[in-house]
Amino acid sequence: MAHSRRVAMVTEACGIGRAIALRLAKDGFNIVINDLSRAAETQKVIEDIEAFHPTLSSKKQLPVRSIAVQGDASKIADGRRLLYETITAFGRLDILVFNAAWAKQASIRELGEELFAKAIDTNVKGPLFLSKMAQPYLEKAQREGDAVKDGGSPVGGSRIINISSTVATMSDALDRMLLYSISKGGLDQITRVLARDPDFGGKGINVNAVAPGPVDTDSLKDLPLRMLSMLANSSPQKRLGRVDDIADVVSFLASNDSRWVNGHKINASGASSV
């Protein structure tokens, strides 16, 4: 039986999500990239994957493929369609990386029901229900991975990797990070509970999280230089995180080397928050 490539789904096509998609493609995964509205950025990810994995390949190795699926991963109907497009294109799903996030800053004085719902829908509801709907496909891929041996070792297992944040556990979190921090805290607890759930961790589907600190992405571009300097100086290396710093951690969690890592949140902040 020919080995089909493992498939990774990554939500959000810019910044950290883009870096994760490119890194997992380099690792040999077929990629499903999802974004709500960034059609140009999503297409650029597809083109960049094709640039270093050309369509023509050797007879011994299938080419890496990638597709883009537009939709709001916080909505159950869109999540169901995202999975349908994935299975239609590739017939399997091995890795789910939930990177989409809503990070609007608001203190409790500015808090309204609409802002609260948006934060919880994007950072908690979306990952929870997409994980629930993806479970049968992840379990099937896990069973197939256990059955197929490559040099005496499993080719890899199914994974859910949630992109969290260090602000979820910071004792000195800013008041304007209220919604972001409590919703990412909810995501952390989803990670822990599913890791021990009989239908996830119990079936070999490892569930982990990565918690970046300040990362040099477009989300920081409007901050004043004084604030950027303060964020960079919070790390002992005196720099902001880079998107590849986070993508490399995700690459490890997606690999067979992480087979005994489950229910863990990896702090990838360069010690800016410990």
The catalytic residues are 180
Rg of the Cα atoms in the chain? 18
Q: Which of 55, 49, 45, 86 is nearest to 69 (CA)?
A: 86
Written as six digits, the tokens of 235 are 């790390």
Convert 118-156 to b/e letters by CB count within 10 Å (16 or more is b): bbbbbbbbbbbbbbebbbebbbbbbebbeeeeeeeeebb
